C-alpha cells in the first residue's frame, strides 16, 4: 500500500515522468511467484489481447488463461533450481513482463529472468555469503585504444597481501565482457562455490573477445550501437594474438600467482575456440583449460599463424602435462561432431582430457552448469 | 546478412533457445534511428494491434502510424542531445521495443533508452576518451553484514601513486547503488568532463542508502526480490548514522585525499536529504555539499538525534565556510516549496549557498543536468 500511495502521490503532484505514469494503471498483474513445488506463476494484464503464451527456457510454450478482468495467468511445470529466461507472446508478439524488473540481454535480445531456489543452495542465486568485488577495468591494448574487461576478485582480496590464482573466462560469439556476469551468473557462482569450500578463492578475468569493439555496446567509443554477432575481428586471430595485453595488465595490476599451475583459461563456443588456440600457442602458460561447447575448426583466416600447425602445438602443450584439459558439450549441440572429431584427434595423439557430455544444445543453461563443474577442479593442491 | 544467416543457421540446427527463436519472425521493425535533425524514428512490428503510441521522456505521447505489413512508425520532434527513455503503448498496454537492446530500470520499471548525440559532445554519451574503472565493492557495515557500493576511479588511478579527492553521490527513494550509474550516466559524465578538463579527476563513491537491503535487488542476501520504494530503513536516521562505515572503508582502501577541501557529498531527493543531514552532523568533513531536488523535512523518526537541532548544526557547518553549498531544483518539483522554505531559512541565518533553478520536476533529466553543473565546481584550487 505504501508503494501505491507513493505512486499516486507522485502522479497527483504531476511530477512522475510519463513512462512511469502508466504503470499505475496496470497493477492487476503481479510479480512472478515461485511456488512451493518449484513451479512459477506469471501474470500479464491485457484486456484486449485475444491470446497470450508464455515462452520460457527449457519448456514448451505454455498457453495463458484470461480472467474476466483481463489478467492472463500461467503456471509452469515444477522446475529444477536455476535461473530461467522468459517472455510473453501477446497475439503472437514478444512482450516483456511489466511486473518483473529483472531482465537479461543475450546479444540484442532482452528477456525477463526468474530464479528458482527452493533448496536455498542454487549456485546461480544470490545468497547471504561473503561477496567478491566486480570491476569494469580498462587496459591498454596493442591496437592503441584501451579495451574493457570485467574482473572478479574474491571476498577478502582487498584485506590481505596474499596472491591468488587467476582464471581467464571467455564469452561466445555475440557476447561481450558482460556476458559471463549477466547470463553466466559468474559472481553468484564464485561467491557460492567459494563460500561452500568447493572452489578455492581466485581472480576471474572476463575480457571482450570482439577485437573490433573496445567494450560492450553502449560502454565504449562506438556509443550506443546495437549488439550484434557481426564482428570484423571475430575468430581471425586478433584476439589470440593480443591476449598478452590482458595477461600483462592482470599480472601488473593484481596480486596473481603466476605459472601454469596457477593459471586457467576457459570459454564457451567462440571463447572455447579462443581458449583452445591461446593455450596451444602458449603451451607452458595454462595448467587448466576448459572448452565449453567450443568451436574447434578455424573459420575465418584459417591460415593465421595462430591456427597453423595445431597438431604440433597440442603435442607440445600436452607434453607439458596440463593439470586439467576439460571438454564439455551437449548431445544436441550443433558443434557436437566437431568436438567429437577433436576428441578423436586427442585420443589418437594420447592426450589426456576430461570429457563431460550433457543433454541439451548450445545454450547458457549448459554453460552455467559447466562453470559449476569446472571451477571446483581448479588450483587444488 | 551475416547476422540473419547466423540466426537461421542456429534455428535450423534446432539449437537456438526458444525465447530467442521468435526474434527471427519479427525482423521488420528496426533499431531506433537518430535522424540528422535530432529527431528519433522508432518502429514496432505488430500486425494485429489496433493502435500504438509512443511514450517518450519529455514529449507528449505520439501516435504511431501503421503500414500495410503491420509495422508501426513514429518520428519524434527534434530533440536536444541527451539520453531518453521510452516505451510503446500497444492497444493501451506498455510494450518495450524489441529492436532496441538498451534498457534502463527506474525502481521496478524497465524502459528502453536512446542516446541523441548530434554534437558528438553529449556528456551522457560514451565517447572515445580515457575511461575510469567502475567497481562493485562490498564493505563491512555496522549492521553486521557487508553492504555493496559502486566506486568510480578516474582513468590513470591504477597507474599512479597519486591521491584523489572523493565525491560521495547518493541516490533517491526507490533507487540503489546502481541508480547513478544506470540512470545518472555517472561514468559517462565523469569520463567526459575529466577528458575535457572541466572536472578534476576524482573518486566517486555511490553507496546504497536503503539500510534494510545490503545491495541492489538481485545482488544481495535477499535474492531476486523486486525493487520497491517501500523500505523499513528509509529516511529514519540509520543511513546517516552508519555513513562512517563507508568513509572509513574508502579512506582505508583507496588513495583519497582527506579533509573537507577534498571531500564532497551530494544526492538526489532522499539522497539530498541524506547529504544535508550527514554533512550537518559532520560540519567539518564536507567542503562541498549538493542538494539535488532534495527532501528537506524529516518524515520518519523525526526525533532521531540525526535530525535534532538542525539550526544549530547548520550554523556550525556554515561557520566552517564550506567551499560550496549547492541547491538545485526544478520549478515544477513537488519539493519546490520545501526547498524554498529551506533557502529562506539559510538566508535568514546568513548562510551562503549557490542556487540553481531549472524547469521541470522531480526527474532524472534534471539530476543528470545538475551532476554536469555541480561536478565541475568541485576541488578546484
- Specify the 3-state DSSP secondary structure of B173: coil
Question: What pLDDT score was predicted for residue B201?
Answer: 98
Q: What is the mean pLDDT of residues B76-95?
A: 96
Residue B357's pLDDT band, with cuts at 50, 70 and 90, is very high
Q: Do A125 and B2 touch (CB under 8 A)?
A: no
- Shortest Cα distance from A286 to chain B (angstroms)? 26
Calculate the CA A264 to chain-centre distance: 17
Please name the member of B22, B131, B138 whose beta carbon is closest to the beta carbon of A55: B22
pLDDT digits (tens, 9 = 90+) for B185-237: 999 999 999 999 999 999 999 999 999 999 999 999 999 999 988 888 878 99
E strand segments, B81-130: 82-90, 93-95, 103-106, 109-116
Q: 3-state DSSP: chain B helix, strand, coil percent, rounded to 5?
A: 25, 25, 50
Q: Do A136 and B135 touch (CB under 8 A)?
A: yes
- Predicted TM-score (pTM) of the model is 0.93
ipTM entry: 0.93
Q: Which residues contact A150 (CB under 8 A, 6 or more apart)?
A: A134, A135, A136, A137, A177, A178, A180, A181, A205, A206
> Which residues in chain B touch residue A133, judged by CB atoms under 8 angstroms apart?
135-138
Mutate to test the interface with A, among B1, B12, B131, B195 (most CBs of A within 10 A): B131
* Polymer length of chain B: 381
Q: Do B19 and A229 touch (CB under 8 A)?
A: no
Question: What pLDDT score was predicted for residue A16?
Answer: 44
Closest CA in chain B for residue A181: B219
Query: What's the CA gap between B216 and B227, in Å, rounded?
Result: 8
Tell me which of 3.40.50.1820, 1.10.3720.10, 3.30.460.10, 3.40.50.2300 is the CATH number of domain A133-377: 3.40.50.1820
Query: What's the CA gap between A285 and B338, in Å, rounded?
Result: 63
Closest CA in chain B for residue A128: B221
Question: What pLDDT score was predicted for residue A64?
Answer: 98
Closest CA in chain A for residue B29: A93
Question: What pLDDT score was predicted for residue A125?
Answer: 97
Q: Which uninterrupted H or E stretch holds A243?
A: helix A243-253
Q: Do B136 and A135 touch (CB under 8 A)?
A: yes
Q: Do B96 and A92 touch (CB under 8 A)?
A: no
For B45, other C-beta atoms within 10 Å of its C-beta total 19
Closest CA in chain A for residue B116: A224
- A59, A85 in Cβ contact below 8 A? no
Question: What pLDDT score was predicted for residue B229?
Answer: 85
Closest CA in chain B for residue A114: B224
Mean per-residue pLDDT of chain B: 92
The proportion of chain B whose per-residue pLDDT surpasses 70, expressed as a percent, equals: 93
pLDDT digits (tens, 9 = 90+) for A336-348: 999 999 999 999 9
- The DSSP bridge partners found for residue B39 are none
- The domains of chain A are located at 31-116, 133-377
Residue B27's pLDDT band, with cuts at 50, 70 and 90, is low
Q: Do A229 and B98 touch (CB under 8 A)?
A: no
- Shortest Cα distance from A258 to chain B (angstroms)? 20
Query: What's the CA gap between A255 and B299, in Å, rounded?
Result: 47
> Which residues in chain A touch residue B125, judged by CB atoms under 8 angstroms apart?
223-224
Question: What pLDDT score was predicted for residue B299?
Answer: 87
> Which residues in chain A touch residue B145, judged by CB atoms under 8 angstroms apart?
128
Long-range residue pairs from A30-38, CB within 8 A, at least 24 positions apart, any chain = A30/A99, A31/A99, A31/A100, A31/B226, A32/A97, A32/A99, A32/A100, A32/A112, A32/A114, A34/A114, A34/A115, A34/A116, A34/A117, A34/A118, A35/A75, A36/A118, A37/A78, A38/A78, A38/A79, A38/A80, A38/A81, A38/A116, A38/A118
Look at domain B31-116 and name its CATH class.
mainly beta
- Shortest Cα distance from A223 to chain B (angstroms)? 5
Please name the member of B20, B113, B228 whose beta carbon is closest to the beta carbon of A3: B228
pLDDT in tens, chain A (381 residues): 344 444 444 433 334 444 444 444 445 789 999 999 999 999 999 999 999 999 999 999 999 999 999 999 999 999 999 999 999 999 999 999 999 999 999 999 999 999 999 999 999 999 999 999 999 999 999 978 899 999 999 999 999 999 999 999 999 999 999 999 999 999 999 999 999 999 999 999 999 999 999 999 999 999 999 998 888 887 899 999 999 999 999 999 999 999 999 999 999 999 999 999 999 999 999 999 999 999 999 988 999 999 999 999 999 999 999 999 999 999 999 999 999 999 999 999 999 999 999 999 999 999 999 999 999 999 998
> Which residues in chain B touch residue A131, judged by CB atoms under 8 angstroms apart?
138, 146, 148, 215
Q: Do A224 and B19 touch (CB under 8 A)?
A: no
Please name the member of A89, A113, A221 whose beta carbon is closest to the beta carbon of B128: A221
Question: What pLDDT score was predicted for residue B352?
Answer: 97
Does residue B130 register a pLDDT over 90? yes
Place of cell 539449437: B15
Q: Do A94 and B23 touch (CB under 8 A)?
A: yes
Please name the member of B18, B138, B227 whose beta carbon is closest to the beta carbon of A131: B138
Q: Do B19 and A87 touch (CB under 8 A)?
A: yes
**Grid cell digits, residue B169:** 553521490
Amino acid at each position: 500500500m505504501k508503494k501505491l500511495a507513493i505512486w499516486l502521490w507522485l502522479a497527483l503532484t504531476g511530477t512522475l515522468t510519463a513512462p512511469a505514469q502508466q504503470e499505475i494503471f496496470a497493477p492487476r498483474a503481479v510479480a512472478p511467484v515461485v511456488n512451493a513445488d518449484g513451479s512459477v506463476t506469471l501474470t500479464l494484464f491485457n484486456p484486449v489481447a485475444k491470446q497470450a503464451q508464455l515462452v520460457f527456457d527449457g519448456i514448451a510454450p505454455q498457453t495463458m488463461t484470461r480472467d474476466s478482468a483481463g489478467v492472463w495467468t500461467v503456471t509452469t511445470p515444477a522446475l529444477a533450481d536455476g535461473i530461467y529466461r522468459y517472455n510473453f507472446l501477446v497475439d503472437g508478439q514478444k512482450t516483456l513482463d511489466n511486473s518483473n524488473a529483472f531482465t537479461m540481454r543475450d546479444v540484442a535480445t532482452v528477456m525477463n529472468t526468474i530464479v528458482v531456489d527452493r533448496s536455498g543452495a542454487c549456485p546461480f542465486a544470490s545468497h547471504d555469503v561473503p561477496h567478491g568485488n566486480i570491476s569494469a577495468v580498462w587496459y591498454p591494448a596493442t591496437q592503441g585504444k584501451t579495451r574493457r574487461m570485467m574482473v572478479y576478485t574474491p571476498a577478502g582480496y582487498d584485506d590481505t597481501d596474499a596472491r591468488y590464482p587467476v582464471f581467464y573466462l571467455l564469452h561466445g560469439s555475440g557476447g561481450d565482457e558482460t556476458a559471463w556476469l549477466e547470463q553466466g551468473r559468474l559472481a553468484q557462482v564464485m561467491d557460492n562455490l567459494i563460500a561452500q569450500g568447493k572452489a578455492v578463492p581466485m581472480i576471474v578475468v572476463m575480457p571482450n573477445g570482439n577485437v573490433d569493439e573496445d567494450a560492450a555496446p553502449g560502454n565504449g567509443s562506438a556509443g550506443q550501437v546495437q549488439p550484434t554477432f557481426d564482428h570484423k575481428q571475430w575468430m581471425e586471430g586478433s584476439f589470440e594474438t593480443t591476449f598478452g595485453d590482458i595477461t600483462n595488465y592482470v599480472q601488473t595490476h593484481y596480486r596473481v600467482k603466476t605459472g601454469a599451475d596457477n593459471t586457467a583459461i576457459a570459454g564457451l563456443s567462440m571463447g572455447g575456440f579462443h581458449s583452445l588456440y591461446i593455450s596451444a600457442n602458449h603451451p607452458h602458460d595454462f595448467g587448466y583449460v576448459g572448452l565449453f561447447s567450443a568451436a574447434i575448426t578455424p573459420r575465418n583466416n584459417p591460415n593465421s599463424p595462430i591456427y597453423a600447425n595445431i597438431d604440433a602445438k597440442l603435442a607440445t602443450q600436452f607434453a607439458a602435462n596440463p593439470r586439467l584439459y576439460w571438454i564439455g558439450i551437449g548431445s544436441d549441440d550443433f558443434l557436437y561432431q566437431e568436438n567429437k572429431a577433436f576428441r578423436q584427434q586427442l585420443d589418437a595423439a594420447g592426450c589426456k582430457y576430461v570429457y563431460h557430455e550433457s543433454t541439451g544444445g548450445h545454450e547458457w543453461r549448459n554453460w552455467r552448469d559447466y562453470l559449476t563443474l569446472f571451477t571446483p577442479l581448479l588450483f587444488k593442491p
